[in-house]
Amino acid sequence: MIKIRVPATTANLGPGFDCLGLALKLYLKLEIEEIEKGLVIEYQGEGAEKFSAKKKEDTLIWKSTELVLKKIGQDKSKKGLKIRVLNEIPITRGLGSSASAIIGGIVGAAKFYDIDLTNQEMLKLALSLEGHMDNIVPALIGGLTLAYKTSREEIKWTRIKTPLDLRVVVAIPDFTLSTGEMRKALPQKIALSEAVFNLSRSALLVNALQNSDWDVLAEAMEDRLHQPYRTPFIPGIEDMFLKIKKTGLAGVALSGSGPSVISLTKVGSEEAISKIMKDTFLNAGIICRVLVLEADLDGTKLIAYSV
Ligand code: HSE
């Protein structure tokens, strides 16, 4: 039996559209063991009802496990597998639940069958299935990552240092938005001035986090590539952004394609920010949960193993 945990992730962080992502201490845990035959997947936690109603073979966890089995040529019908899923990551809210499921299936199968796959190979498998590298990379590697593709379509990444006293306040509204739909809301072309705006903010954000330069976070997390087209789908969010920025305590952005919102701040300010988030959503008629999380620096990790 093996047990692994995969962190949730928040992508974009404002200006780093499709390339910056941060792993969070909120987890998808998978326990995998061999059974006589067949496939059993049991769910607990976030999305358990939805996933239990799905055909097992159609779940991302199984599809990604199967990718590894196919790669090693193992005939899955010879042995059965039981996967127990304990999920803390809210689904379809912009916290990378799909990426965590995919990485979980791949790493889980690789660890279970003791197959040596490099991070590069695992990321390639993951991206062949679905998902975005700005979630996939931090879910596997942990921390704040900048993911990019080379001109030969090879996935590469670099890890950016984050301050230990960084806190991520996450407001999770009680409605869902699909990333696919939210991508359709984006324009195909953008003005050069908007591109320059984002280039400057994303470089500023990386520099601010590396140097614990808290004062510039509010400006550093501004974006003009995707948020202006997505915020109309989320009541109260414009007001929330303004109020949080006005405190001068934090930066704020959509988490991935939303509807969750993240605010990056220094430990000590999290309560003030949480209150603004809750109150503003409530004023707009939206019920939300607010979590205060830390960055996960481990990425996907084996947490138990027994023969
Ligand atoms: N970067 C993606 C987007 C979402 O904003 O559409 C998460 O991978």
**Residues 27, 23: Cα–Cα separation, whole Å:** 10
Residues 17 and 146 in one domain: yes
Question: What pLDDT, on a 0 to 100 scale, did the predictor assign at position 153?
Answer: 87
Domain total in the chain: 2
Residues 129 and 184 in one domain: no
Residues 112 and 250 in one domain: no
Question: What pLDDT, on a 0 to 100 scale, did the predictor assign at position 74?
Answer: 64
Determine the atom of ligand 1 nearest the C-alpha atom of 183: 6
The owner of tokens 């009541």 is: 235
**Cβ neighbours for 58, distance < 8 A, ≥ 6 positions apart:** none
Between β-strands 250-254 and 155-160, what pairing exists: parallel, antiparallel or unpaired?
unpaired
Residues 128 and 225 in one domain: no
Residues 200 and 101 in one domain: no
Question: What pLDDT, on a 0 to 100 scale, did the predictor assign at position 72?
Answer: 78
Continuous segment of H or E residues that includes residue 34 = strand 20-35
The owner of tokens 């127990």 is: 84
pLDDT along the chain (307 residues), means of 10: 97 98 98 90 93 88 90 69 95 95 96 92 92 94 97 94 97 95 96 98 98 97 98 97 96 97 98 98 97 98 87
**Cβ neighbours for 124, distance < 8 A, ≥ 6 positions apart:** 155
**3-class secondary structure, 42:** strand
Residues 155 and 175 in one domain: no
Counting every residue written for the chain, the total comes to 307
Residues 206 and 81 in one domain: no
Residues 193 and 79 in one domain: no
What is the residue range of 212's domain?
166-293
**3-class secondary structure, 171:** strand
**Cβ neighbours for 192, distance < 8 A, ≥ 6 positions apart:** none
Q: Is residue 135 in contact with ligand 1, taking CB distance under 6 Å?
A: yes
Residues 121 and 174 in one domain: no
In testing the pocket of ligand 1, which one of 155, 183, 202, 229 has its CB within 8 Å of the most ligand atoms?
Answer: 183
Residues 170 and 148 in one domain: no
Question: What pLDDT, on a 0 to 100 scale, did the predictor assign at position 199?
Answer: 98
CA 186 to centroid of chain Cα atoms: 20
In testing the pocket of ligand 1, which one of 22, 92, 100, 132 has its CB within 8 Å of the most ligand atoms?
Answer: 132
Question: What pLDDT, on a 0 to 100 scale, did the predictor assign at position 79?
Answer: 76
249-262 b/e (C-beta count within 10 Å ≥ 16 → b): bbbbbbbbbbbbbb
Residues 14 and 142 in one domain: yes
Residues 41 and 129 in one domain: yes
